[in-house]
A and B are shown apart, each in its own frame.
Chain A
Amino acid sequence: MSEISQLWIVTRYEFLKHLRRKRLYVILGITLIAELAVLIILPLLMDGYPDNVLVMAAMLTVGPALATIGAVFFAGDAIAGEFENKTGFILFTNPVKRTTLVMGKYLASCAAVIILIVFGYAIMCVSLLAIYGEIPVETAKSFGLCLLFGGSVLSVTFFFSAISKGAMGATVITLVFIMVICGIVESVLMMAGEPYWFILSAGGDSVTLAFGGVELIMEGLMPSGGMGMFPFDYEPLDINLAAISMAGYMVIGFLLSLWRSKRKQLA
């Protein structure tokens, strides 16, 4: 049997597992609640929706958070779980390469994360059409960056899953890495006026910034001098470089997870 056939089989059944678990539906529900919260609360606080459709689009962009949560939920136990839960004793004794299994799991996780991202953007598009009668063309750029961010977070999560002994460890390490370590380093570099496009969390920021720079968003939300709250000069994020960085995380993270998974023994 060819490796491609086996890859397809693994992807299908791993995706079936994602569908069977409640996590996907829970995250879809959280997405809906988050978007509804923005749609309901924002006009109450601001006395109506922002005049600029791009500002509203930025506010409705939950993609980076979705991608992060989805990636750790679908990928945190992808490899570590097989060892921790002993399901590897059944799966790894099949005539299929370890790399094929990991690739199939990765593709299945990608499919699940894509569903989340598409769902979030679908709500955004419907909302923008309903409120403004238009969907800004920047939405496509934001969507593409979000998919790239989702793929990069998945790869990093897969790597941590490959090196961790347990699924919980992998999930926690990934969340700490992205939300805490990357977040802090990004903020420090930004305040210091240094480039920060290579930090993974900056990739998540690029998804929102596709609709316009921070100044546009702040002015849209605080028309009476929005930029006054920034007491420092900061370097705007270069979105193109952030995209290249995300692609790098995606490829390198995935290759490292393949390499580590292949070497991992099930004692």
Chain B
Amino acid sequence: MSEPIINIDNLTKYYNKFLALDNLCLKVVENENVGLLGPNGAGKSTTLKILCGLLRSSSGTAYIDGINIAQKPEQALLRIGAIIETPEFYPFLTPEETLSYLGKLRGIRGNGLDQSIKEVIHLVGLDDWLTVKIEKFSRGMKQRLALAQTLLHDPPVLILDEPALGLDPRGVVEFREIIDKVGKEKTVFFASHQLTEVAQICNQVAIIDHGRLLAYDSIAELEKKHQSLERAYLELTGGYVE
């Protein structure tokens, strides 16, 4: 088995006395698309935020491509493109300025940056909005821009927290197509409540609840064991309702 590109090793996180993650262990191999499923408060967002260096774990370690995120966050973050929660952008800047800012921070310069910006903007369908101030954007448009910025520096790992939230049905389909396309060459680690979305994009699913990993298997295997992904989710997280 090849070295995992995302390695979560006994991760524990307390918010004061509340235990959000309880010795979570998970290894994601390169080029796998993994859906992180769980009910509200299961610890999905906490896991993703620790992977992105936004939170410190109480104990345990997380690695991105072999890099300890707590010890070398800048190096690890160069390997990641992330959408966490519903991100907001600076309203006074345009997508071009925002992506230019982020691209430069990620080490992309000159013509290469201009080209990357054009490509990702075209990919998410915001070509006509490149020089419009973001204060005029709808939530769905901001979500598209969020997806664009994750792809700007062509990272090997995408960490996505409910990335299709706020998108209209066409947007959801387009998003799925984008992830399907880029996911072939990247590792996608993606938290969602939408089982159909996860089933269409991912080949592996991790189900967590109360901060613990309940199952980590291919969708096919889970369906074999529990008849359907939905049944697997419901049975593992609190009993199936007939």
Contacts and interface: CB of A to CB of B under 8 A. Distances in A.
Q: Do A and B come from one complex?
A: yes
Interface residues of B, number: 33
A94 B77 contact: yes
Contacts of B97: 13, 16
Nearest to B145: A90
B143 to A, nearest CB: 12
B130 interface: no
Interface stretch (A50-58, A81-89, A162-170, A247-255): A81-89
Interface stretch (B27-35, B78-86, B164-172, B214-222): B78-86
Interface string A74-111: 00000000000111111011111100000000000000
Interface string B102-114: 1011110000000
Interface string A94-136: 1111000000000000000000000000000000000000000
Interface stretch (B51-59, B204-212, B223-231): B51-59
B88 A89 contact: yes
B84 to A, nearest CB: 4
Contacts of B84: 89, 93
A267 interface: yes
B54 A92 contact: yes
Contact of A93 (B53, B75, B86, B90): B53
B137 interface: no
Interface residues of A, number: 24
Contacts of B82: 89, 93
B149 interface: yes
A267 B88 contact: no
B49 interface: yes
Nearest to B80: A93
A266 interface: yes
A89 B74 contact: no
A266 B54 contact: yes
A6 B101 CA distance: 10
B146 interface: yes
Contacts of B101: 9, 13
B240 interface: no
B86 A95 contact: no
B54 A265 contact: yes
B117 to A, nearest CB: 15
Given A1-B107, A21-B92, A93-B82, A265 B52 contact: no
B87 to A, nearest CB: 4
A172 to B, nearest CB: 22
Given A9-B104, A86-B85, A95 B75 contact: yes
Contacts of B129: none
A10 B149 contact: no
A17 B91 CA distance: 9
A94 B93 contact: no
Given A89-B85, A266-B49, A17 B55 contact: no
Given A13-B101, A94-B105, 20 more contacts: A6-B105, A9-B104, A17-B90, A20-B92, A21-B92, A86-B85, A86-B86, A87-B88, A89-B54, A89-B83, A90-B87, A92-B53, A93-B54, A93-B82, A95-B78, A95-B105, A95-B106, A96-B105, A266-B54, A267-B54
